[in-house]
Structures are given as C-alpha cells and as structure tokens.
Amino acid sequence: MRGVVVTEAEASAGSPRTNVEGEAVGRDGAEPDRAPGPARGAAGGPGAEPGNQAEAVAIVGMACRYPGGVDSPAGLWQLAADGREAVGPLPADRGWDLAAVPGTEGPEPCAPGAPGVDRGGFLDGAAEFDAEFFGMTPAQAQAADPQHRLMLEVCWEACERAGLDPAELREAETGVFVAAASSGYGAGHPDGGAAEGPLSVRLADAFGLRDPAAGDPPAADPPHSLAALLQAGEALRAGECAFALAGGVTVHATPEEFLRPLGDLAPDGRCKAFAAAADGTGLAEGAAVLVLERLADARRGGHPVLALLRGGATRPQDGPGGPDAPDGASHLGLIRAALADAGLRPDEVDAVEAHGSGTAPGDTAEAAALIAAYGRDRAADRPLWLGAVTSNLGHTGRAAGAAGVIKTVEALQRGVLPKTLHAAAPTPRVDWHTGGVRLATKDVAWPRGERPRRAGVSSLGAATADTHVILEEAPPISTSPPVDPSPPVPAARPVSGPRPAPAGAVPAAGAAAASGASPSPASGRAVPSGPARTAAADSAAGAVPDTVPAAAPVAAPGSAGAGAEVSAPAGATGPVRGAVPGAAPTRGAAPGTVSASTPVPATRVGRAVVVEGIPGAGAGPVAGSGTGAASGAAPSVVPSAASGVGRAVTGGAPSAGSPGAVRDAAAPPGPVAAAAPMPGGATATASASSSPGAAPGAGRGAGSGPGTPAPSGAAVRRGRGGAAEETGAVLAWPVSGRSAAGLSAQARQLADFVSARPELDPRDLAWSLAATRPALEHRAAVVGTSREDLLAGLAALAEGRARTGTVSGVVGGAGRLGFVFTGQGAQRIGMGQGLHAAFPAFADAFDAACAALDSHLDRPLADVVRGGDAAGGAQPGTLDDTQWTQAALFAVEVALFRLLESWALRPDILAGHSIGELAAAHVAGVWSLPDAAAVVAARGRLMQALPRGGAMVAVATSERAAEAVLERHPGAALAAVNGPQAVVLSGEADAVTAAAAELAAAGARTHRLRVSHAFHSPLMEPMLAAFADVAASVSYRSPGIPMASALTGRAAADEVAEPGYWVRHVREPVRFADAAGVLRAAGVATFVEIGPDGVLATMGPQTRSGPGAPVGAGRPGEASDELWVPALRRGRDEPRTLVTTLARLHTRGVPVHWTAFHGSGGGRRVDLPTYPFQRRRYWLSAVTPAGGAPAPVRPDGDGRAEDRTAALLAALDRVEQGWAGLDPDRDTAERVAERLRRMLARWTAAVDGSAPDPGRPGADEDPAPRNTDARPDEGSGPA
C-alpha cells in the first residue's frame, strides 16, 4: 500500500463521466476501460496478496467518541448493530446563548419562526476533562480547545487498546496525523482563543513523542481523518516512523453551524444517506484515533492486528462539489487509483462504507461512481454491499472517515455488515439494477471466505480533499514470526514511572522540538517483545437474510468472530496456551519426577540456631515445608515455563493421546509421564516412579523425594467450556492510576468487568494487566491464587481498605535497587522448596548449585535442605551444622537471585552478611559456580572441624563502647557491627561473658546467642591456613555487579578478587552497618533481602543513624524513605511471599517486568477496560458569534460568572506556577492554593447548577471529580 495523490488534471483525464442513473461512459461515449494496472507504489498486481509483510500496514488499536454515548469501538458497533441513531437536541452544557447569535432571523427558516436546525449528533461531556492526568493546571485546561482535550484522552485509550505504553511510543519514532478545524472555542474570551498550533504538534508534545516531523512541524493538520490514515500508512511504509497515530476530531464549541439558514441541512438533523427521503446532511461531532504499525513489527511486538490498510488514494477537492455534492467523475478516478494502489480488481472488494452525505445530489453522484467502479462484471451472487454510518451518527466532520473505518473493522471481526438506517426506500435517482451494488437495508452476514475480505471507505469533499481507502481483514496468526516475550535486561533503571510531558504550553508551529534529529531507519529500532496477542474475537450477531456469497459459513451465535486472527473465548484473544510459535520447549518428565499425588509429610518443627553474629534470627519454630502451618498433603505446583508462574495440580494428567498430552522430545530416558499442557508449553507431569539416585536437575516440577513441600492453593485446569477455574498459581493483578481517585476507580472498574465475565481466566487477566497497560504513578497489586481471592483484593482496593495480599504505593523515592544476601541464622528446613516446585528457573539454579557442592560433601545437599533422604539418614538439626548451613544458604540464595534475574529484576549493587557475601560474590561474577562451591564447602567444612565452644553475645551498644571494653578482655573480639547501637561479641566463653557483663552494667541490653562455634573470633584462626590454600586454588574475576564490602565497610574493588580477602573475611568482624551505608551512598533506597527469612530486612533500617533514622517508621523494614523487604519469610508460603515482594517493589516504582515473570506464552490477551478518567468541567462560557459581540452566559443574573471563574483560575495558576520560588514559605502557598481550589470548585458548581448556592452552609466541600467512565450507580471516587 502506498497512497496515491490524484491531481485534478489526472482525475479529469483518466476518469469517465457519470450520468444520474449511475451509468459510466467514456469521454467519447465508449465503455470505460477496466481498472488500470498498479499505480506507483502499488502493493502488487491485480489480485495479488501483500507478499512483503514488512510493507503491510496494520491497524493495531482504535478509540473513539461519537454521539449517542459512544465511547469505544465496541460502542460504535453496538449502536450500528442495534439500528439506533444518535441525533438529539442542541446541548445544554455549553453555555450557548442562541438568541444572541446574529443572522438567525434570516429569510430561510427551516420551520416557522425557527431558522437553521435545533438537532444534531452531539458528544456527551464535551466540556469535561481529566486535567491532572495530562499534567495541566486548571487554568490551562480551561483555556485549551475541547477538541485538543478530547483527543488527548482518545489517543491514550487507543494506545491502551493496542497494548502500548506511551513510554514505548516515546522510545521510537511515532508519527501523529490528526485532523481538526477551529472549533471557535473561547473566541472573545480573555482566556480563550489563543493560538495553540496544529493538534498533531500538541499531541506529540503531550505524549513526549519523537514525531519524525518534529524538526519541520506541519503548517496545518491533515484535512480529515481518512486522509490522515493514508498519510500515516505512507509514513510507515517509507520507514519514517515505527508507529503512527491517525484520526480526526470535530467539536462544535459555538452554535453557528446549526443556526445558519437551512441550506443543505436536514430539518430534523438526520442524515438519510442513499434514501428516497434524503433532504440534507445532519451535522454531528466525533473524535477517533487509530494506531498503526507495520504488520511485521506488530507481529513481533505481539500487538493486536485488527485489520490491514491495503491501499488508498486521495485528491484535492478543487471542483464545484463539496462534502454534500461530490464530483462523481473525479470520485470514480479516485476509486480506481485506490484499487490500483492496493493491487486489486474491483470484484475483490466486498463492501464500501460510503461518505453518505444525505443530500440528493451528493448521494446520487457517489452511488453512480461506486456502481461504475465496483459494480461492473461482478458475479450476480457477489454484489458490493453499500452502507453509511452517517445514517446513525450524522456527519461527524473531521472524524467521519475514521468512523467508517472503525465500523468496517468491527464488521470484519464480527462477520456482519450492519444495516443503513432510513434507506428502506432507496433513492430513485440511482438505478440500483445497472450494476452489482446493493444498499445494505438489512444486516448482511459477512463470513470468512476463500480470500481475505475487503472493504472500501470513502470521505468526499470534506475539507477540500477526497479520499478512498481499502481495508483488508487481518491475516491468520499462523503467518506471524515467533515472539520472544522476555524483555532484555535493562541497562539502567529509571527511578520513577512514565508520565506524559505537561501539555499546558504548546509550542508554536515553528518551535516544536529542538532536536531536529532525523528519524532513525525503521529497521534499526528496538521492537518491544511480548507474548503474542491478537485482536478481539467477538461472537457474530446471528444469521441474517442477506449474505455475502462466500465459501465459509456464517459464524453461529456464540462462536468465534469471523474476523479474529484465531479462535478465543469471548473477551479474550490470542493463541491457545501452549501453542505459541517460538515458545520455549516444554519441560519433559525427567527421572526422579514424582507423582503429583505424592503425599507431603506433616510440617516438621525444628530448632533454629543463631550463628555467625546475627542475633534474633532463630526466634520461633522452623516450618519444615517453608510454606506456613502444616496441612497434611498439599498439591504440588508444576512449573509453567522456564521462568514463568507455576500452577498447582492434583490427580493425574491427561492420558497419552488425549488432547493436550505432550511429550518433550528432549526428555532423557526413563519413566515417561503423561503431561498436561501449561502456559508457554510447560507440562504438569505424573510419573510412575522416582529415582533416588537421579542426577542433579532431575526431580523438578512436582518436587523430588520425600518431604518436598509445595505451596498451598486449589488445583485447577481450564474447563473445556472455556470457564475459568481456580488457578492454584500465585498471580498478581497490577493496577495503577494517575491519582488516588484514578487508582480506586481502576480497581472498581476492573472488579465489575471481571465479575461480569466468569469465563475469564485469572492468568490471562494477570498477563493482560501487566503487558497491555502502562504503570502509572499511583500503583497497587492484588496478589492471590483464585478468582475470588483476587476479586476480594480489588474490592478492598476500590474501597480504600487494607487487606492481606493487596499492596499499594506511589512512585517516587525508590532510588537504586540493592540486594543484600543473608548470613547464618536464617536457615530452615525446606527453605526454597516452595519456589523449587513453582518456578523452574529456581529449580534449575538450585539443582546446579547442589550438584556443584555435592562433589565436596558426603551426602546430597538437597536431602539435608529437605530434612531427610531416601534412606532417612539425615537427622533433624543436621541443617544447623555450619558445614550444611553455609552450603544450603549459598544454594538457596544463588537460586533466588537467578529466579529474580530471569524476571529481569537486576540490582544496581550487592552486599552480603558473612556467608551471604560469598553468594553475592558468585552472582557478581567473582567465581564460577564450581570455584564458588569449592570455597563455600571448604569454609563450612573447616569451621565444622574446629572444636565446639566459645560464646557469642549480642549487645545494644556502639562499636566504640564495645572496643573500649574488649581491650580489657583479650579472649573476646568484635564479631559484627550490625548498627550504630548493635554489635556482637565473640570468642572464648569466659572473656565474652565478662565483657558482656561489663557492658550490661553500663546500661546496655545483652542477649546470648545459641551457637556451636564462636565465629569471626580468634577461635577461627586454626582453620585459616588450610582455607587459604583452597582460596588460592580457584580463579577470580573482578565483579561484574558493584559490591559493598562487609569486611572493609567500603565499596568493593579488586580486593574481592584476591584470596587473602576471603581469608580475612573468616576472622574479622562483619561490618554490615558500614556496608549498608555504602549502598545508601550509592543511591540505594530499596533493599531486597536475598535469603530464606527476613533477618537483614529487620536489621537494615537500624543501620541508619542521624536524621531520617527509622524511629517511628511505618511498618517493619521501612525507615523514612527507605524500604527493606525480604524475598522470603519463615512460616509463609514462598511463592506468595516472593510475588508480594515483587508487588511491593512495583508499587514503589522499581521496574518489574511482569511479562518476564509470566514467562513465554504467559497468557491470552483480554480486552480490558480503558482508563477511567477523573473528569471535571472546564468551559469558557463567553463566545463571540460571527460578526457579533461577546454573548456571555449569565447564570447568576448579573454577568459576573465568567469573570469570577476566570479570576479564580488565573489566581490558582499563578500560585501553583510560583511554588518554585516560594520554598521558604511553601506551606503558606499550599494553603492559599487549596483555598483557591475550594473556592473555584464551589463557584463552578453553583454556576453549573450542580451544587447549593455558595453562600449556603456546607458549600465549602470540594466536589469530587466525575468518573464518567464508571457506571451511574458507582458514584465517584475520593477527591
């Protein structure tokens, strides 16, 4: 497709004339030639399919506002499918003083005493806008053209429906092609009528887009939305941009168009296109935006392909016609040029959405041209069907062509062409029998056939240009290339979420963007990755009498829509789970896989031993499973993808040969289990046996060996009927808003949406919320395992109630991300095994670490972690022996890091406490896994071999005070400095006891720790020489991730790549408080504890001294603006705890790549509700009619309404804009601004008649914003 521009001369020379009967004749009376060959830039020869997918242009998102309450493409479809019209009286909310409009007393009234018309198609709420969402002050919003305000919202919705984050648009060249004329808003008002520049420039500025035209801004917007669509397609094909926004808008801010002498306006405001009763056009309003992308890029990015822009042509409208009386001859030439550009024959187009002016001359000329272009030589059973959405809406000005496009795309997807209203008796001025064109006076079935379905869309004479485009149904999804859903690991993390640039001050036409950089070649841009997702696939609306002849049958009610790329349940789209092209291989049934029904022993309660200088870590029992209280046998969780969400299963899997049974070709020999399909090709296996001697890496998925714990949760599979059952896997539903009220409205809207659609799978919703919606500043996430659990969390969020599993926060202050690795004392039986069962990435890393360590140990480490082996040889308490503790913590922490890394969550800097620093060094790249295992195993083994004895005591005192006392007790030493007032003493029992007693006498609190050895003391010295030999035998590299040293208390450099560092590390104190300070100095404000319990997360806030110390901090782990959060906690379900931690990071503003969390093929796309804008009224009431003086509205009877409103707005704007210079007295400025806001809200409500008189008691309350996207019975969210 490459749109063709046809000049007046070309149209006259190459187009036949048409008579009023629709017959086409050549200039010499001869029969015209067939459609010419391909025009310049054509996609191919006649009948050719678009062979170059990189050249095809796809519509990937749509949004609109039209009369009749239409606020979405589905709403427009429903209006047309129901056969409703949207014509109504003049709006009462725009302050129109009809009596003051001059010229309405003219000689051509449409009715006795009433000039013009008093009906049309008007938008609801045109005066309302969410200024805060787009960064506007109230004064800026009040002054902005309502067309601009409306298009900001519609553009946002179009991006949401395309699954695009505006930040994604900012990262690539994005063209903006939108049509708008002057609305007359604010003319004559002191705060209105300012030159705002082209709408395309405003939109690009508001969304921070790198418009390829930014260096040379357009002098004007495109003439209308269909021309904008064609321009956008050309720019994409030429590689000038990667995405394009195309559309148009018309809002009538003044009544002149309706109150002028009748002329060609229909007296009743109805547009009776192609009807015998046609008596003039009907004026209307509308706004629409289409998001376009090259088809190949859309496939790679996983964006829904709704339809293709196959070809088109446009020409200047220089003749004597106009929008209501187009030139038939030139229109015929235009259609032929569009067909040539598309490389199609006329009979390869099934339908045309006409301009449909509703005037007798205009309809006659348009129909004649269509019959001449499309109606000749068609098979009798394959007519061209003609329709016009203007019969429902009226003529929506610059948005009219886009309305036809949206209606056509919806018809392609639903397999039905809706009827044209008022045309039961077609116009007799057209001979409908001379060509194969039929007026769609009834609904027409339009099913898939042997070739792609296609339709033309026309916009004629609108704003001096005629345009005809040809749309084609989306190609099958099977033609798409593989999709890689995992985003690349980010090189640098932003510290806050995206927000559109403030849209208040818009640059003039010559000063849009300063860079002027040339657009990058399209082939060089980074294409965002994500699981494949497709367009909506709705049910066809039943069979109807007239049909488009085709090989495929009409879609039955309730079946998948004819225009969808693949079959999918109602409300969801995308490939069937497990069948995504390019998805990761399935995990096979390896030896050692146990049955999904293997019973899990009751929780074993053990004793926690605190060692290596971490006090208090052993308080409370150890939950044997690591997943909370024992509950007997629990369902196992089977991995869903290489890094994806697990799913709980019980019972058997499908029998071999049944639908969904899978055998992994890469599985090693051994017992083969039947496999149930899981997301991304993972399989739930039920093996016949388990091999106790399986190699490392076996025994995944459902666990391996007795005692394998598993997260609790219901076991489910998707039902055959499409209804969603309980998932069992832990999911997070992220929700966000620009404000607290917006977040609450989002939660309420989503809860209503999900409640009304029980067939939706919670996993699909989780993936869609993460992958297709941007994360705004006010964030929340609901964590749960079932539909009911998640819905309850949404309800709590909507009502502002606290609830377990629901976290919320505001982006800002996240700083950089630091990982801190736990030391001894945090270990527990079964640690990490809930993650092992749920997440294959963890299982792979844990098994690999165990395999590396096992070559240095006398029994399998995994058996010790799980609390027993196949022969029952491991005894309770074995894990508390330091040789096993250190190895086990290393394996669990490395696996936990690798799991987070697989989800693209990478820290900026690392630190560790004692053995935790060895795990940190390995993941930072200091050692390979075999070398790290050798060092860790030797460290623990040599310490274990030392004589038991000594003592360790935690003391609440300063390092200086402790050192002063230790000078008098030579056998004791400082083992750890965990905070400004937290140290640990270690050494010979008598010396440590005496030093602790002396400190206690001085008022310090003390606590003796239960330990087997006195770590980090002189009692460690006998092992140092042997350990030095091991440390010197391995290879070192400089860390690839920055580290803070808990040995030196400084930023780590190349010293961590020296053997001597790690020898000193055994003997010298752990300076954790200093290491935490290094992280803070590096900008870290978010700390994640990598380990099996929340030890450092409790200790960490106490390492901060001085201003901002955690005295009176909110919840545990929070200190002022810091957040310390553990990845896991003792006694709590591991997958739920870890996912909740991710949610807390997300709500704080740390980038969490939820699509990576969901893994390959992580879900099917659900068409979610768009953002519930929190709108307020912004409207300048004074208008200047053409040729007259301002005619202010006087709702208060004294003419002061607008003056006072404008004054309040101006004062508020000055205070808000001046805050930067009022820092010393900011509180006063804020109080003044709040008072002004209250006065403005009170005054505006009184002027609008929506609130009591300002002088009445109780009028000081600031009204809440209107959420006009919410249901009427929902009320409005908090202000």
Q: What does the pLDDT look like over 588-609, one tens digit per residue?
A: 333 333 333 333 333 222 322 2
- A 10 A CB-CB count for 20 gives 14
* Whether residue 1178 has pLDDT greater than 90: yes
Q: How many helices (H) and strands (E) does the chain have?
A: 32, 40
Between residues 435 and 855, which one has the greater pLDDT?
855
Q: Minimum mean pLDDT among 3-17, 77-91, 335-349, 1054-1068: which range? A: 3-17
Helix H or strand E encompassing 741: helix 740-755
The phi, psi pair for 201, rounded to 5°, reads -70, -40
Using CA atoms, how far apart are residues 496 and 510, in angstroms rounded to an integer? 32
Calculate the alpha carbon distances from 1131 to 619, 703, 823 in Å: 12, 19, 18
The separation between CA 1089 and the C-alpha centre of its own chain, rounded to angstroms, equals: 28
CATH 3.30.70.250 fits 950-1007, yes or no: yes
Q: At what angle do helices 225-237 and 400-414 cross, to 10 degrees?
A: 70
Q: What pTM does this model have?
A: 0.73
Helix H or strand E encompassing 457: strand 454-462
* Whether residue 1224 has pLDDT greater than 50: no
* Whether residue 1268 has pLDDT greater than 90: no
* Whether residue 371 has pLDDT greater than 70: yes
* Whether residue 587 has pLDDT greater than 90: no
Between residues 408 and 316, which one has the greater pLDDT?
408
* Whether residue 18 has pLDDT greater than 70: no
Q: What is the pLDDT of residue 605?
A: 28
Tokens of 1108: 């901002």
For 175, the 3-state DSSP assignment is strand
Q: What is the pLDDT of residue 169?
A: 86
pLDDT digits 0-9 by tens, 1135-1168: 999 999 999 999 999 999 998 998 866 789 999 9
The phi, psi pair for 741, rounded to 5°, reads -65, -40
Q: Minimum mean pLDDT among 376-390, 762-776, 1117-1131: which range? A: 1117-1131
Would you say 832 and 895 are in contact if contact means Cβ atoms under 8 Å apart?
Answer: yes
Would you say 189 and 1183 are in contact if contact means Cβ atoms under 8 Å apart?
Answer: yes
The DSSP string of 369-415 is HHHHHHSTT--TTSPEEEE-THHHH-B-GGGHHHHHHHHHHHHHHHT
Would you say 435 and 375 are in contact if contact means Cβ atoms under 8 Å apart?
Answer: yes
Mean pLDDT over each residue of the chain, to the nearest integer: 73
Mean pLDDT of 293-300: 94
Mean pLDDT of 981-993: 96
* Whether residue 617 has pLDDT greater than 70: no
Exposed e or buried b per residue across 842-880, where buried means at least 16 C-beta atoms within 10 angstroms of its C-beta: bbbbbbbbbbbbbebbeebbbbbbbbbbeeeebeeebbb
pLDDT bin (cut points 50, 70, 90) of residue 549 is very low
- A 10 A CB-CB count for 1095 gives 27
Q: CA angle, 630 as apex, 628 and 634 as ends, to 5°?
A: 95
Using only C-alpha atoms, what is the Rg of the chain?
35
Exposed e or buried b per residue across 214-234, where buried means at least 16 C-beta atoms within 10 angstroms of its C-beta: beebbeebbbbbbbbbbbbbb
Using CA atoms, how far apart are residues 1243 and 1205, in angstroms rounded to an integer? 7
Q: What is the pLDDT of residue 1226?
A: 53
Calculate the alpha carbon distances from 424 to 273, 438, 547 in Å: 11, 12, 17
Mean pLDDT of 865-888: 77
pLDDT bin (cut points 50, 70, 90) of residue 1213 is low
- A 10 A CB-CB count for 770 gives 25
* Whether residue 616 has pLDDT greater than 70: no
Mean pLDDT is highest, among 95-109, 448-462, 685-699, for 448-462
Between residues 4 and 1163, which one has the greater pLDDT?
1163
Helix H or strand E encompassing 140: helix 138-143
* Whether residue 1269 has pLDDT greater than 80: no
Tokens of 950: 């000594």
Between residues 492 and 376, which one has the greater pLDDT?
376
| Top CATH class, 817-947+1008-1148 | alpha beta
What are the structural domain ranges in the chain?
4-106+114-515, 817-947+1008-1148, 950-1007, 1200-1274
For 638, the 3-state DSSP assignment is strand
- Reported as half-sphere exposure (CB side, CA atoms, 13 A), residue 250 has a value of 26
Would you say 485 and 496 are in contact if contact means Cβ atoms under 8 Å apart?
Answer: no
Would you say 415 and 561 are in contact if contact means Cβ atoms under 8 Å apart?
Answer: yes
* Whether residue 645 has pLDDT greater than 50: no
Mean pLDDT is highest, among 173-177, 462-466, 596-600, 618-622, for 173-177
Q: What is the pLDDT of residue 1136?
A: 97
pLDDT bin (cut points 50, 70, 90) of residue 583 is very low
CATH 3.40.47.10 fits 4-106+114-515, yes or no: yes
Would you say 975 and 963 are in contact if contact means Cβ atoms under 8 Å apart?
Answer: no
**1120 burial class (0-12, 13-18, 19+ CB within 10 angstroms)?**
middle
* Whether residue 246 has pLDDT greater than 90: yes
Q: At what angle do helices 787-799 and 740-755 cross, to 10 degrees?
A: 150
Mean pLDDT of 475-487: 48
